[in-house]
């Protein structure tokens, strides 16, 4: 049992009597029923009493967020995070963005939106919203779930979000509001608070405007950690997906911030697709590196190297068969927990990328398509589909670190924007 400052974590879902592990044959064999329901979500019912006196107090013993998996709506749900944690012990995991209004209005139904397994620590809750009272209230309600950090979304360009009520990336245009919101959020929790933002919005894309935002938010609120998506957002005309590929990456802005705000910590995000690139970003000085799409679409080859290559610690050292076995126990225990959800499809979805570019991957996906129509349990889904994957793939550990652009930031110092001067500093220069 792990002991944390504010939470006593007693939950485990690792099966002890697995038959799959002992068998070199096909998937799956007889599943140990003993532990089938041992996977419990991090429920307020379990923890409220312990946390009552110390809202938001959680462990400080995790390794730092040198590597994190980005918040991604409909992707980084409980199921994906469960899979991710089986592959990497130390990666920091972000939730999908949860709207503050959802938390406030669903306060009697919070487990559905906020519960997670304690194995998922270190975990950051990302919230979104434009109403300071609701952001603070939502944070307060989330305290019972012991998230390790609260992050405010100031980067989402979706018209559903940014277009209504100054939410998501639109907030970057109002740093005073963000500072007030972050102060209100921080006042209701003891865990660190952070902001995830873009490098700019529409024509507000100069380095000094980005610095003004960082300066104001960090000076007038307790926010000392910023996650910087190194592309600006275009609010008119392009989709959220295009907003993640069309505006050019400007890593030089990120490294400019590192130089100009030495008292803050910055995590770089955007376009990083391999562990070699993560290492390159860290070598160039980034405090942390956040990976989104690559960690979702290729979890085995990205997350499988995080513990050893980035944290210098032993990896969980599981094969994919062992990961799937543990995941099966999880999946069967949560299926239909909230009425019809999660469905088998919800639960299996993050697994569909586990065999990225491996022999049998195409056939496994085709079999999965068919199995979704006639399988009602994760176990039967595995039985029907995993015959497509060779044993050599299922039973091999994570391969050698694949090549990547280790020189991605080699030239960054020559590209940095001119040093930032605050308006006060500029005024002093003009008057002098
Ligand atoms: C499907 C999807 C959903 C996303 N949802 C969120 C979100 O809820 N909150 C957020 O701050 N960013 C969200 N993002 C943006 C990512 O967090 C990240 O900033 C972006 O994908 C760039 O990183 P990458 O190039 O490593 O993918 C989402 C991205 C994707 C692909």
100: domain CATH number is 3.20.20.70
pLDDT at 15: 27
Residues 97 and 177 in one domain: yes
Helix (H) or strand (E) holding 67: strand 67-69
**CB of 73 shorter than 6 A to ligand 1:** yes
Return the beta strands (E) in 108-199 as ranges. 123-128, 149-154, 193-198
Whether residue 423 lies inside any domain: the answer is no
CA angle 404, 408, 412 (to 5 degrees): 170
Q: Is the pTM of this model over 0.85?
A: yes
Structure confidence by residue, pLDDT tens digits, 265-283: 999 999 999 999 999 999 9
Residues 175 and 151 in one domain: yes
**Cβ 197 vs Cβ 227: under 8 Å:** yes
- DSSP assignment letter at 37: T
Whether residue 47 lies inside any domain: the answer is no
Residues 137 and 73 in one domain: yes
Whether residue 12 lies inside any domain: the answer is no
Q: Of 310, 342, 360, which residue constitutes the final position of a domain? A: 310
Whether residue 21 lies inside any domain: the answer is no
pLDDT at 404: 86
pLDDT at 161: 63
**CB of 240 shorter than 6 A to ligand 1:** no
How remote is the CA of residue 155 from the centroid of ligand 1, in Å? 9
**Cβ 254 vs Cβ 230: under 8 Å:** yes
- Domain hosting residue 324, numbered range: 320-394
* Segments of the chain with pLDDT less than 50: 1-59
Residues 239 and 121 in one domain: yes
User: Under 8 Å CB-to-CB from 85, ≥6 apart: which residues?
Assistant: 91, 93, 117, 119, 120
- The number of domains in the chain is 2
Residues 288 and 352 in one domain: no
196 Cα nearest atom in ligand 1: 11
Whether residue 274 lies inside any domain: the answer is yes
pLDDT at 210: 98
Residues 179 and 262 in one domain: yes
**CB of 95 shorter than 6 A to ligand 1:** no
Whether residue 407 lies inside any domain: the answer is no
Residues 270 and 328 in one domain: no
**Secondary structure (DSSP) of 338-398:** BTTBSPHHHHHGGGGGTTTTSTTHHHHHHHHHHHHHH--SHHHHHHHHGGGS-HHHHT---
Whether residue 198 lies inside any domain: the answer is yes
Residues 159 and 281 in one domain: yes
How remote is the CA of residue 380 from the centroid of ligand 1, in Å? 32
- DSSP assignment letter at 26: S
Residue to substitute in 292, 294, 299 for testing ligand 1 pocket (most ligand atoms within 8 angstroms of CB): 292
pLDDT at 316: 85
**CB of 416 shorter than 6 A to ligand 1:** no
Residues 277 and 236 in one domain: yes
Whether residue 424 lies inside any domain: the answer is no
Nearest-10 Cα torsion for 274, 280, 285, 288:
10
pLDDT at 60: 55
70 Cα nearest atom in ligand 1: 17
Residues 202 and 347 in one domain: no
Q: Of 261, 277, 310, which residue constitutes the final position of a domain? A: 310
Q: Of 310, 338, 354, which residue constitutes the final position of a domain? A: 310
271 Cα nearest atom in ligand 1: 25
pLDDT at 385: 97
Catalytic positions are: 156
Residues 235 and 172 in one domain: yes
**CB of 281 shorter than 6 A to ligand 1:** no
Residues 299 and 378 in one domain: no
């Amino acid at each position: 049992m792990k002991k944390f400052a504010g939470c006593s974590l007693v939950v485990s879902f690792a099966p002890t009597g697995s038959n799959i592990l002992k068998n070199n044959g096909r998937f799956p064999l007889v599943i140990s029923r003993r532990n089938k329901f041992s996977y419990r979500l991090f429920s307020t019912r379990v923890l409220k009493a312990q946390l009552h006196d110390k809202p938001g107090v959680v462990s400080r013993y995790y390794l730092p967020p040198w590597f994190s998996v980005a918040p991604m709506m409909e992707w980084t749900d409980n199921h994906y995070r469960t899979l991710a944690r089986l592959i990497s012990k130390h990666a920091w995991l972000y939730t999908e963005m949860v709207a503050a209004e959802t938390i406030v209005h669903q306060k009697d139904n919070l487990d559905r939106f906020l519960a997670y397994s304690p194995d998922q620590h270190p975990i950051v809750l990302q919230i979104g919203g434009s109403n300071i009272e609701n952001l603070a209230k939502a944070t307060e309600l989330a305290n019972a779930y012991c998230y390790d950090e609260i992050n405010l979304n100031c980067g989402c360009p979706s018209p559903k979000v940014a277009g209504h009520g100054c939410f998501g990336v639109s907030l970057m245009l109002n740093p005073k509001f963000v500072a007030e919101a972050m102060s209100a959020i921080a006042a209701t929790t003891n865990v660190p608070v952070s902001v995830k933002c873009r490098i700019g919005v529409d024509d507000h894309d100069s380095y000094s405007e980005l610095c003004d935002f960082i300066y104001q938010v960090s000076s007038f609120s307790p926010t000392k950690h910023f996650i910087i998506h190194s592309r600006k957002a275009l609010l008119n005309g392009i989709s959220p997906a295009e907003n993640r590929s069309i505006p050019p990456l400007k890593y030089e802005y990120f490294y400019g911030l590192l130089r100009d705000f030495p008292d803050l910590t910055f995590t770089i995000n955007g376009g990083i697709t391999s562990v070699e690139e993560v290492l390159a970003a860290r070598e160039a000085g980034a405090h942390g590196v956040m990976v989104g799409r690559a960690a979702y679409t290729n979890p085995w080859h990205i997350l499988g190297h995080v513990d050893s290559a980035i944290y210098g610690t032993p990896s969980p050292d599981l094969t994919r068969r062992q990961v799937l076995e543990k995941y099966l126990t999880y999946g069967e225990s949560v299926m239909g927990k909230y009425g019809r959800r999660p469905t088998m499809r919800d639960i299996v979805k993050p697994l569909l990328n586990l065999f990225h570019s491996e022999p049998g991957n195409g056939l496994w996906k085709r079999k999965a398509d068919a199995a979704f129509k006639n399988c009602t349990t994760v176990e039967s889904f595995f039985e029907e589909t995993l015959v497509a994957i060779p044993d050599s793939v299922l039973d091999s550990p994570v391969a050698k670190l694949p090549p990547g652009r280790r020189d991605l930031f080699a030239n960054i110092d020559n590209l940095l924007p001119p040093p930032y001067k605050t308006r006060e500093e500029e005024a002093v220069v003009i008057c002098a």
